[in-house]
Amino acid sequence: MGDSYLPSPELLKSVLEPLLDDFQYWFERSLILLENERISFMSEDEQSNLLNQVKQAQSELNTVKMLFSATGHQVGIDMAIFIPWHQLVRQCWQVSMQLRQSKEI
């Protein structure tokens, strides 16, 4: 009999896989924005630093997704990993919104 406190691989997959896919989607969109737009309200260094943060987060995400898949979705992921990713996505959203607003003026 399995440990009733451990979530099933199916539950982990159904919860974590879409979350990881969402991070992947937003990191890819942010990467496209930061690589293809010159963002006037950011210095080149700020834009470059944000781009590097997104690339680093993508690398971490790819590693997590690989390990999650390699274990057959049998391991959870510490929520502490998601906090900096979420903060980074929020930062990228703010940049995107500010850029969009500056173009509307």
- Predicted confidence at residue 12, as pLDDT, reads 84
Query: In this predicted model, which residue has the larger pLDDT, 77 or 47?
Result: 47
pLDDT tens by residue, 52-101: 999 999 999 999 999 999 989 888 888 899 999 999 999 999 999 999 99
pLDDT score recorded for residue 74: 83
Q: Which long-range contacts (CB under 8 A, 24 or more apart) does 82-88 make?
A: 82/19, 82/23, 84/57, 85/23, 85/27, 85/57, 85/60, 85/61, 88/27, 88/30, 88/53, 88/54, 88/57
Structural domain boundaries of the chain?
Answer: 9-104
The least confident of 3-12, 30-39, 94-103 is 3-12
* Mean pLDDT taken over the chain: 91
DSSP 11-49: HHHHHHHHHHHHHHHHHHHHHHHHHH---TTS-HHHHHH
* Between 74 and 27, the higher pLDDT residue: 27
